[in-house]
């Protein structure tokens, strides 16, 4: 589903260099807040798609942006743009993407079924090969 999963994010505008520095300092120093148990929940996904164990930093960035009252957006490679998945627009984009994935999976399943069916002209009923 997500072969080349990469995630990055940005926050702002901050209004002043001091506020931006404060945010960055809190974000960089936040690794003590990224719990190993939170990362372990995603270990299977990480293994399957080559993710790094840094998604906790994006979570911390979201929390800090809310605390500092600045906008936040993340880059999800499968959406091909920066979005805030907490917003209605971001959720709409994600929902649209997932709908397309589901439709492709359904179509693929139907194609596989069609390949296994043959129609016998004698009785008009499908039979499995």
Average pLDDT, the chain: 74
Report residue 119 as tokens. Answer: 């129609």
The CA-CA-CA angle for residues 76, 107, 42, to 5°, reads 35
Domain boundaries, the chain: 1-84, 87-129
The CA distance from 83 to 80, in Å, is: 9
- What pTM, to 2 d.p., does this model score? 0.54
pLDDT in tens, 75-125: 887 888 899 989 999 999 999 999 998 888 877 776 766 666 655 555 556
Residue among 27, 29, 87, 36 nearest 61 (CA): 27
The CA distance from 85 to 106, in Å, is: 25
């Amino acid at each position: 589903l997500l072969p080349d999963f990469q995630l990055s994010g940005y926050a702002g505008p901050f209004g002043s260099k001091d506020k931006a520095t404060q945010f960055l300092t809190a974000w960089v120093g936040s690794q003590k807040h990224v719990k190993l148990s939170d990362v372990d929940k995603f270990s299977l996904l990480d293994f399957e798609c080559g993710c790094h164990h840094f998604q906790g930093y994006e979570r911390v960035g979201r929390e800090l942006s809310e605390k500092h009252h600045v906008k936040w957006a993340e880059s999800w490679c499968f959406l091909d743009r920066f979005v805030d998945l907490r917003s209605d627009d971001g959720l709409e984009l994600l929902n649209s993407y997932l709908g397309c994935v589901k439709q492709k999976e359904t179509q693929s399943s139907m194609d596989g079924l069609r390949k296994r069916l043959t129609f016998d002209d004698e009785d008009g009923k499908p039979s499995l090969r």
